[in-house]
Amino acid sequence: MKYLNEFRNSKQAQLLAARIARLVTRPWSIMEICGGQTHSLIRNGIDQVLPPGVEMIHGPGCPVCVTPLSVIDKALEIAARPEVIFCSFGDMLRVPGSREDLYRIKGAGGDVRVVYSPLDALKLAKQNPEREIVFLAIGFETTAPANAMVIKLARTQQIKNFSALVSHVLVPPAIEAIMNSPDNRIHGFLAAGHVCSVMGFKQYHPIAARYQVPIVVTGFEPLDLLEGIRRVIEQLERSQAFVDNAYERAVSEEGNLAAQATINEVFTVTDRNWRGIGTIAKSGWRLRDEFAWWDAEKKFNVEHVRTIESPQCRAGEVLQGTLKPHQCAAFGKACTPRHPLGATMVSGEGACAAYYNYGRFVQIDKAMSS
């Protein structure tokens, strides 16, 4: 439990919260990019012990949540084919497409299987040479190395009945899109430690300088988050804006160079559509042309699937930080974890799921209660 218990010390958390309160002289809005950080903030009540005027805004850093509806609908079409064994991590099975989800495809006879690693899908391809094995490869920079490695192995070993439906997205372009939004009210960011453990944080320096916004790399435990918030506010109060690493036990400025090399060998940067947000230029990865055989989108000719988003779901506003989950009229009523309208209510990192699971049907207004 080393590196866990010591970052969950309640007395230290109270001391950090008090230090933050002494720093604050005006209102500040800070966005945590990662959905895992959102859940930790809400589960531990960190947002409610911060001083009045410090608002945590939940960002788009949930890979399940931002996977575009078009990719879900393509997955559904592929998974319904009798020759296919469709493999996915479990949290994707209940993400609603335009009309159904992967669970319903499975219930109707589709061979949909939960795997715990992309290597599990590759193993299935070797064991079932008469079937087409498709792996749903989604996520931010964190999951890209493993997915790239498996696709590279499939090509090296010439496993032709394996392919991947790829939807990888990148954090830095999303931060820029948020800062360029006319509705932007973000003063500082908490960057996701696991993303930076892969990619490092060199790419954040130009963003901090261009938009004059502090970016602090931090982890996921209560003390990690409070220390990250403290460092952001300290910069804001001093009119500073630079990248700071508060997660040195896991992150270096260069990141994991071997992982980056594998990613760059298999993927190339592309424009990417984000669910509820729209297209962000150069915000994702796609397979390089030399890996086209292992591209499920091309193999199964599903590049032009049409989609229909739920008119009740306001997940896009939640992902952009302009709406808190409980402010959506459907939250906890038409939209629940058992009957979700959008991915933010399904995912283990979704903001709507966090608010629902931890009873945040009404957000405490700290400014009014102070």
The residue among 26, 31, 50, 28 whose CA lies nearest residue 222 is 50
Amino acid at residue number 165: L
Residue 13 above 80 pLDDT? yes
Indicate whether 233 and 350 sit together in one domain.
Answer: no
* Cα angle 237, 241, 243; round to 5: 120
The residue among 262, 93, 270, 289 whose CA lies nearest residue 169 is 270
Instruction: Name the more confident of 202 and 61.
Output: 202
Task: Look at residue 218 and tell me if it is in a domain.
Answer: yes
The phi-psi region of residue 139 (left if phi > 0; otherwise alpha if psi is between -120 and 50; otherwise beta) is: left
Per-residue pLDDT of 182-200, as tens digits, reads: 989 999 999 999 999 999 9
265: containing domain:
1-310
Give the other-Cβ count within 10 Å of 277's Cβ: 22
Task: Look at residue 365 and tell me if it is in a domain.
Answer: no
The phi-psi region of residue 31 (left if phi > 0; otherwise alpha if psi is between -120 and 50; otherwise beta) is: beta
Indicate whether 82 and 119 sit together in one domain.
Answer: yes
First-last CA distance in the chain: 37
Q: Report in angstroms the alpha-carbon separations of 136 from 25, 32, 167, 175, 192.
A: 47, 26, 8, 25, 23
The residue among 268, 274, 270 whose CA lies nearest residue 178 is 274
Indicate whether 252 and 338 sit together in one domain.
Answer: no
* CATH code for the domain in which residue 302 is found: 3.40.50.11740
Per-residue pLDDT of 124-169, as tens digits, reads: 999 999 999 999 999 999 999 999 999 999 999 999 999 999 999 9
Contact assessment for residue 123 and residue 157, using Cβ atoms and an 8 Å cutoff: no
Indicate whether 225 and 197 sit together in one domain.
Answer: yes
Average pLDDT over residues 74-88: 97
The residue among 269, 277, 220 whose CA lies nearest residue 246 is 220
The domain boundary residue, chosen from 295, 310, 325: 310
Q: Report in angstroms the alpha-carbon separations of 324 from 26, 28, 291, 334, 363.
A: 22, 16, 41, 16, 9
What distance in Å separates the CA atoms of residue 115 and residue 88, rounded to the nearest whole number? 6
Number of domains in the chain: 2
Residue 320 above 60 pLDDT? yes
What distance in Å separates the CA atoms of residue 115 and residue 128, rounded to the nearest whole number? 15
Per-residue pLDDT of 215-268, as tens digits, reads: 999 999 999 999 999 999 999 999 999 999 999 999 999 999 999 999 999 999
The phi-psi region of residue 167 (left if phi > 0; otherwise alpha if psi is between -120 and 50; otherwise beta) is: beta
